[in-house]
Chain A
Amino acid sequence: MKGSRKGWDDRLFDLINYSFLTVVLLVTLYPFLNVLAISLNESTDTVRGGITIFPREFTLANYQTIFEYDNLITGFINSTLRTVIGTVLGVVSSAMVAFTLSRADFQGRKAFSTVLVLTLYFSGGLIPGYMLMRDLQLIDTFWVYVLPGMVNAFNIIIVRSFMDGLPFALQESAKMDGANDFAIFWRIILPLCTPVLATIALFIAVGQWNSWFDTYLYNSSNPSLTTLQFELMKILQNTTMGSTDANAFRDAQGQEAASSVSPESIKMAISMVTIIPILLVYPFLQRFFVQGMTLGAVKS
């Protein structure tokens, strides 16, 4: 390959390049480590300031406090449920539709893909969407979280372009053996699509886990349908300007024990609770989603 001699301009380039990327690395990582450190630091000590990336007085009290908060537990359960149910429904429906659209002999192929692809370019908007949910009586129900976005054109395109790359001979030989189209899909195509299904599962799961606006818009008056992100949003909004009405959380809880924990520590602990599940699954799926993103982007 390249000779061992490097010119001065090459070295300079490397120096600038590695410095720039190291700065990017630090700027991206620091805030997360800072949040982690504060969430693990004793609350009254945090108020003194100066916590960087290591806790000064280590404690798990902040986490104990937030898990005594009923709304947060409900939110955690609802967020988990919507993530699991939403992901299963989304993956199954995308895979089925993508399979039918990848079949060149399918009569409905052209019309159905047009109907789906067009949805990428327009949306009815906030208020017509709200009215539809009202008319379908989905407001104030759990189902408003998972049903409206279940069939997503972008995910279908990603899966379909993956299926287009599989040899058609597989399906033909199965057909000879008397398998029907559903059996072909279920027993032959689905197992081969694991990488791309993992990709869209990640996209859907992260989208579900991170949503807060649908809770705000449709279910904010019903505490039993709250979500983790929505609870965090309420606490953050109360403290955005650093005002002292940050105590909404403590008031809501009405417990003596909580008063020793500052809102700052609580915010950071809840933030960590929402980030950790993503951190746990994401490194394993990175290979897949990079592939999936590239495929999808090329097609659309």
Chain B
Amino acid sequence: MESVEKKAHTKINRSAKTQHRFFKTMKQQKYLYAMSVPFVLWVLVFNYVPLWGWTMAFQDFKPARSFMEQEWVGLANFTALFQDERFYLVLLNTLAMSIMGLAIGFVVPIIFAVFLNEVRVQTFKRTVQTVSYLPHFVSWVVVAGIVTKVLSTDGGIVNEMLMAAGFVNEPVQFMTKGEWFWMIVTLSDLWKEMGWNSIIFLAAMAGVDPQQYEAAKVDGASRLRQIWHITLPGIRPTILVVLILSIGHLITIGFEKQFLLGNPIVVDYAEVLDLYALNYGIGLGRFSYGTAIGIFNSLVSIVLLFLANGIFKRYTNQSVM
């Protein structure tokens, strides 16, 4: 039918014809449009309109004024941000906790997956897996409660064990020691997400060709050598992709853990960029300043993502984005 139509038209009204065709197909696909357009509009409202809110960072924003009445101040909010000493402290906290989180939270799940992959007793393997995914589904509120309990000075199991082993004479006040805070956040995160983050590596390991292991056994390779020369190279692409994506999310570590585990005594170690934006922006009503912090945060993570992807591309000629 289409070919008949094609012959009937001349070259001159080709564009009119494509347009005509477009609308004709559109009519045919009306149900497909009905099932997608409302949700795409939804995303435009809830995910893209907030980008328009970035203009606030360049204004002296007052909620009572309309957009046309706002006073434009150029980069004044950013200048103020970069002159605030607190900002550098907060940036240090954010970077420290994200880098620690990346280093430990990325490496340990791989090791965990490698160990699990070597287990031959299937019931044991499944039990460990099921239990290790569990904390991922529990809220940070509950996890913060558990961590506080485990580290508490009256009967917390960590202190009990340290005292029983004779490492300390009196309970350590972990939650009020600022210098411990970064480590507490990192290890809590590890406890919560280790099992979950190992899923993807385990799946990748299942895809490694079993014949390679057979061949290695014939050659008399030990288990460690098999892991080093077969398992790890086999999941190398997965490791790289996960690494790049983690680097992209490096600075957007969120603030839930810091909010819930922190307290006024350790605030100088616990405050991260998002919390800083929350305290200034909504707590003190300095909306423009808070938005400037948010923009800085987004820009840094985009730059990091492109950098990581660029390095990845250079070494492997592939791109994850």
Is B263's CB within 8 Å of the partner chain A?
yes
Of A123, A185, A241, A286, the contact of B47 (CB 8 Å cutoff): A123
Question: Residue on A with the closest CB to B145?
Answer: A236
Q: How far is the CA of A20 from the CA of B43 in the complex (A)?
A: 45
Size bracket, chain B contacts:
35 or more
Evaluate contact between A274 and B139: CB separation under 8 angstroms.
Answer: yes
Evaluate contact between A212 and B50: CB separation under 8 angstroms.
Answer: no
Is A60's CB within 8 Å of the partner chain B?
no
Q: How far is the CA of A254 from the CA of B155 in the complex (A)?
A: 29
A151: shortest Cβ distance to chain B, in Å? 5
Evaluate contact between B203 and A127: CB separation under 8 angstroms.
Answer: no
Evaluate contact between A182 and B35: CB separation under 8 angstroms.
Answer: yes
Please report which residues of chain B, range 187-240, place their CB below 8 angstroms from some CB of chain A when the two chains form the complex: 191, 194-195, 199-200, 203, 217, 222-224
Q: Which residues from B are CB-within-8-Å of A131? A: 50, 53, 56, 63, 287
Is B124's CB within 8 Å of the partner chain A?
yes
Question: Residue on B with the closest CB to A115?
Answer: B40
Of A10, A93, A282, the contact of B137 (CB 8 Å cutoff): A282
Convert B229-254 into 0s and 1s, putting 1 for each residue whose CB lies closer than 8 angstroms to a CB of A. 00000000000001000001000100
A10-B222, A210-B141, A267-B145 known; A128-B50 Cβ under 8 A: yes
Is A64's CB within 8 Å of the partner chain B?
no
Is B70's CB within 8 Å of the partner chain A?
no
Q: Which residues from B are CB-within-8-Å of A25? A: 127-128, 131-132
B234: shortest Cβ distance to chain A, in Å? 15
Of A124, A149, A233, the contact of B50 (CB 8 Å cutoff): A124
Q: Which residues from B are CB-within-8-Å of A294? A: 199-200, 203
Q: How far is the CA of A2 from the CA of B50 in the complex (A)?
A: 59
Is B183's CB within 8 Å of the partner chain A?
no
Q: How far is the CA of A147 from the CA of B41 in the complex (A)?
A: 13
Please report which residues of chain B, range 33-58, place their CB below 8 angstroms from some CB of chain A when the two chains form the complex: 33-37, 39-40, 42-54, 56
B135: shortest Cβ distance to chain A, in Å? 6
Evaluate contact between B302 and A271: CB separation under 8 angstroms.
Answer: no
Is B294's CB within 8 Å of the partner chain A?
yes
Size bracket, chain A contacts:
35 or more
B-side interface mostly: helix
Evaluate contact between A128 and B294: CB separation under 8 angstroms.
Answer: yes
Convert B262-298 into 0s and 1s, putting 1 for each residue whose CB lies closer than 8 angstroms to a CB of A. 0101000000001001100110000100110011011
B144: shortest Cβ distance to chain A, in Å? 6
A17: shortest Cβ distance to chain B, in Å? 5
Evaluate contact between B149 and A115: CB separation under 8 angstroms.
Answer: no
Q: Which residues from A are CB-within-8-Å of B56? A: 127-128, 131
Is B95's CB within 8 Å of the partner chain A?
no
Evaluate contact between B222 and A271: CB separation under 8 angstroms.
Answer: no
Q: Which residues from A are CB-within-8-Å of B25? A: 107
Is B305's CB within 8 Å of the partner chain A?
yes
Most buried by B among A7, A31, A217: A31
Q: Which residues from B are CB-within-8-Å of A217? A: 282
Question: Residue on B with the closest CB to A100?
Answer: B36
A115-B43, A116-B43, A119-B47 known; A18-B141 Cβ under 8 A: no
Q: Which residues from B are CB-within-8-Å of A297? A: 200, 203, 242
A21-B124, A103-B32 known; A132-B294 Cβ under 8 A: no
A17-B119, A116-B43 known; A293-B199 Cβ under 8 A: yes
A108-B36, A232-B145 known; A127-B277 Cβ under 8 A: yes
Q: How far is the CA of A29 from the CA of B63 in the complex (A)?
A: 49
Question: Residue on B with the closest CB to A21?
Answer: B128
Is B138's CB within 8 Å of the partner chain A?
yes
Q: Which residues from A are CB-within-8-Å of B78? A: none
Evaluate contact between B152 and A242: CB separation under 8 angstroms.
Answer: yes
Which residues of A pack against B, CB within 8 Å? 2, 7, 9-10, 13-14, 17-18, 20-21, 24-25, 27-32, 34-35, 49-51, 93, 96-97, 99-101, 103, 105-108, 112, 115-116, 119, 121-132, 134, 136, 147-151, 153, 180-182, 185, 206, 209-213, 217, 229, 232-233, 236-237, 239-242, 267, 271, 274-275, 278-279, 282-283, 286, 290, 293-294, 297
Given A125-B54, A232-B142, 10 other A-B residues pairs in contact with their CB atoms under 8 A: A18-B119, A28-B195, A35-B145, A49-B154, A103-B32, A108-B32, A127-B287, A131-B53, A267-B145, A282-B137
**Between-chain CB contacts (< 8 Å), 5 pairs:** A24-B194, A28-B195, A100-B35, A211-B139, A271-B145
